[in-house]
């Protein structure tokens, strides 16, 4: 083996150890994501805790908007909201941008309210980035395979639906008419 090949294998192995890779298996195809544990460590730790607990199994992408993003990780196939009770501090000051193909945490108006819901940017969305005047949405990964699946998801017909929470009914918009199910999320590398 040449020195260059050995060096590449060493570098790739080191990057993999620091930045895990996960596979999102959906009923419309698979999406592979590199997580930025080196730049959003608390967010990646939170996401992987949900992965390891099987939290995402049979959740749906409940909000898809063409030319914007696809969002999942918070509702099951019956549109019942799932809540793990975990939240994570906003790490959007990491200066990663909400560019096409990046994975970011969804949240409420409280910057530190991100729990299990995440979204994949279908286009560059600079208005979602951190600025000194507003907290952004924490980017913590990037699609490395399967962006055509994200594009397909974003282009599916949507409508309004009624979800449910522990507090009652919740109107939802931009819900795919044919459910896009997250069958499971697994680690490809640690």
Alpha-carbon span 188 to 2, nearest angstrom: 27
Beta strands in the chain (DSSP E): 21-26, 29-35, 59-65, 69-76, 102-105, 118-121, 139-145, 158-165, 168-176, 181-189
CB 29 within 8 A of CB 149: yes
CB 129 within 8 A of CB 142: no
User: Where along the chain do its domains lie?
Assistant: 3-189
Would the pTM of this model clear 0.85, i.e. be above it? yes
Alpha-carbon span 59 to 37, nearest angstrom: 24
* Dihedral angle of Cα 50, 54, 58, 63, to the nearest 10 degrees: 10
How many Cα atoms sit within 13 Å of 41 on the Cβ side?
A: 2
Alpha-carbon span 97 to 140, nearest angstrom: 10
Alpha helices (runs of H) in the chain, residue ranges in sequence order: 3-18, 41-52, 147-154
> What is the chain's length?
190
- Give the closest residue to 33 by CA, choosing from 49, 14, 19, 54: 19
**What per-residue confidence (pLDDT) applies to 166?**
87
pLDDT tens for 90-121 read 999 998 999 999 999 999 999 999 999 999 99
- Give the closest residue to 115 by CA, choosing from 70, 158, 75, 68: 75
Q: Which CATH number fits domain 3-189: 2.40.100.10, 3.50.30.30, 1.10.3720.10, 2.60.40.10?
A: 2.40.100.10
pLDDT tens-digit profile, the chain (190 residues):
444 444 444 444 444 458 999 999 999 999 999 999 999 999 999 999 999 999 999 999 999 999 999 999 999 999 999 998 999 999 999 989 999 999 999 999 999 999 999 999 999 999 999 999 999 999 999 999 999 999 999 999 999 999 998 889 999 999 999 999 999 999 998 7
Alpha-carbon span 136 to 143, nearest angstrom: 20
CA 68 to chain centre: 14
């Amino acid at each position: 083996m040449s020195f260059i090949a050995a060096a590449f294998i060493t570098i790739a192995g080191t990057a993999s150890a620091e930045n895990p890779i996960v596979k999102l298996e959906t009923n419309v195809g698979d999406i592979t994501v590199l997580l930025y544990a080196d730049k959003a460590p608390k967010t990646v730790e939170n996401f992987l805790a949900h992965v390891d607990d099987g939290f995402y199994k049979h959740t749906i992408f409940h909000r898809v908007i063409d030319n914007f993003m696809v969002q999942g990780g918070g509702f099951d196939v019956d549109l019942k909201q799932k809540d793990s009770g975990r939240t994570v501090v906003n790490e959007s000051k990491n200066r990663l941008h909400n560019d096409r193909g990046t994975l970011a945490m969804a949240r409420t108006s409280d910057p530190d309210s991100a729990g299990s819901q995440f979204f994949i940017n279908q286009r560059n969305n600079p208005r979602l980035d951190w600025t000194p005047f507003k907290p952004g949405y924490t980017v913590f990964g990037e699609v490395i395979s399967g962006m055509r699946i994200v594009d397909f998801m974003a282009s599916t017909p949507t409508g309004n639906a009624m979800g449910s929470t522990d507090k009652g009914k919740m109107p939802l918009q931009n819900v795919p008419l044919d459910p896009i199910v997250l069958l499971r999320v697994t680690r490809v590398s640690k």
